[in-house]
Structure 1
């Protein structure tokens, strides 16, 4: 697979073609880490095709050429979807290879002029802070985690990995910089510290701090302790985590809308370097910082990751499905395709649920 980009439309081989268990005129097959339902007898094992993942925006000229316009989603009927056909999930769209020179693994998104659908941006999470050249250069955006069902060859079979539950909330980061202060932000922006009812910067006990999506974790004593402890020996400490609850996304994890927020940490960076997961876990345990649940430690396989991505959330208080899992090696490493090795596997149950349709994103 070529180097990561915003959208991957890969050339693929169809694998594991077999009869659909509930439909005589349909087959099912594997396309990378996804299952697809296809017309019976149209394709053979190993056929080379172009795969348009779900949420690809397909230009009209190609939708018309492939005869799929009526099957696309969205108000403009241009978005590749996901669906269950006779009880079997089907993700994405396959189409004929257009050039003989295309090889399996090539990303041909530009050839088709495709774009990636992005869910609506949340606009109620606080104002972006103005750029500060004494602060912002130290604050790194969190890793843009790629899709493990597309990047199927990043992990080797039986490589030791750790899988944590992927929470459906919003990404936040807490920053402490020696001799400068504390900060908070979303995935790509630093966020202004809220003002209290007196018009001055809120303190950790002020309700304005506790209700602010990105500054809320600074009200948690254990988080403060961990950050202060690490800042004694590191110039820049960044704790990354997920803020969740009914006020953030449709999966509430037992916190109804308007009834507060929850927080779980999932990564730590010190002086520009991510901490190995086991060390991160020990630090969180020592300071009683709540972490995302660990679901699995052991050898990687695609089948295992698929199974782990579905099921009930293991967060205390949750009574709903999980969004998926995030998987990383036991030791931090990088690879040519995606940079830092860490992948997400979104659950089939979640992908086909009403919660997926209500997705929002933050900046």
Structure 2
């Protein structure tokens, strides 16, 4: 679960020209507006990340007009992302003491604003709550999968591939990216749609049936339905094309082929790209051995020729080369914030190491502030 309220350190306090009552505070890679005199550099604070929904309490009454949601704003021409409050506020919730890095999301009762998950619930079947004996049956090998299908309780198949999510650049300690220096990296556009994963494995014998899975961000849609995930799979023959791709890549019969991407459509995320039909842009191509669980991920510039040969679309590639100064690369990419898919601001970009076998953090994302401001996010 995402940490929405964390104890963090104020790195710097900056004056805002012409402002008598407010200032800017720098917290890791973020900056936000705070009351003047509330913090000095080195103070610990409670930092609420973007998309936090604060509880309806007197201390947060000033957020009522925004429906208690923390979003990107501009105040006296200053970008403000997040909310910082003195650590003393925690006395209202608990008598415990905290240190920098502690997660206080549940203690305060902060929830996440997640429109994609809300849209997902509207277009996928509700899953029933299982009784204790049903939960036991669902975990038994061999019969568990079939039983879960009958009950409709099909979680995302994390035993095959992880859910799609990247950490924001501003949250990452620079020390965790020290190994990136001099390494080859790839930058691709981040597309704002609904996360969709397709998984295929060919038949491998009597006890290894052919498998094809259609997944939203949080669920596996075990039976064909009218959702955009299945609609695209049917209309574009995804199963058949993945079967051909599996063979073209010469993957073993017990190997899963995984495609992860974003579906954009007239009824998805406000149709920011102005499309008139379903489109699917792939950002991950992976394989996973069903026995050993050994996984492999293709860098997108290497995967694109294979995917394009079978008519798949990939997220736009923005850069591939050696990583010198990450700060310089980030500044350059922020200046070039237009989407390659339409005449609009791109949601952001994703940066990955070309060699996914290197230990340590392998990828992160950056969301353009201009995109967040434009769409009131």
**TM-score, normalization by structure 2:** 0.72
How far does residue 310 in structure 1 lie from its aligned partner after superposition?
6.5
In the alignment, structure 1 residue 292 sits paired with structure 2 residue 304: no
Q: How does 1:234-313 map to 2 (within 5 A)?
A: 234=253, 235-255=255-275, 259-271=276-288, 272-278=293-299, 280-288=300-308, 289-297=312-320, 298-299=323-324, 301=326, 304-305=329-330, 308=333, 311-313=336-338
- Give the match for residue 162 of structure 1: 186
Equivalent in 65, 69, 88 of residue 61 of structure 2: 69
User: How far, CA to CA, are the matches of 1:285 and 1:334 in structure 2?
Assistant: 24
Q: Retained in 1: the 8 A contact 2:7–2:47?
A: yes
- Closer, same or farther in 2 for the Cα pair 1:84/1:192, shift >3 Å? same
Residues paired across the two proteins, number:
327
How far does residue 127 in structure 1 lie from its aligned partner after superposition?
5.2
Q: How does 1:18-57 map to 2 (within 5 A)?
A: 18-21=14-17, 23=19, 25-57=21-53
- Give the match for residue 141 of structure 2: none
Q: Retained in 1: the 8 A contact 2:225–2:231?
A: no
How far does residue 91 in structure 1 lie from its aligned partner after superposition?
1.6
Higher relative contact order (CA 8 A, sep 6+): 1
- Closer, same or farther in 2 for the Cα pair 1:355/1:175, shift >3 Å? farther
User: How far, CA to CA, are the matches of 1:303 and 1:103 in structure 2?
Assistant: 32
Gaps of 5+ in 1: 197-207, 357-363
In the alignment, structure 1 residue 92 sits paired with structure 2 residue 78: no
In the alignment, structure 1 residue 117 sits paired with structure 2 residue 138: no
In the alignment, structure 1 residue 348 sits paired with structure 2 residue 372: no
State the Cα deviation string for residues 190-240 of structure 1 (Å, max 9, x = none). 3356589xxxxxxxxxxx999814545545987664244236435211111
How far does residue 152 in structure 1 lie from its aligned partner after superposition?
3.4
Q: Retained in 2: the 8 A contact 1:312–1:321?
A: yes
- Closer, same or farther in 2 for the Cα pair 1:333/1:15, shift >3 Å? farther
User: How far, CA to CA, are the matches of 1:37 and 1:303 in structure 2?
Assistant: 25
State the Cα deviation string for residues 309-335 of structure 1 (Å, max 9, x = none). 56544334x011111122232322687
User: How far, CA to CA, are the matches of 1:100 and 1:141 in structure 2?
Assistant: 34
How far does residue 281 in structure 1 lie from its aligned partner after superposition?
2.9
Equivalent in 339, 355, 361 of residue 314 of structure 1: 339
**TM-score, normalization by structure 1:** 0.74
User: How far, CA to CA, are the matches of 2:33 and 2:347 in structure 1?
Assistant: 23
Gaps of 5+ in 2: 89-94, 129-137, 139-143, 204-209
- Give the match for residue 133 of structure 2: none
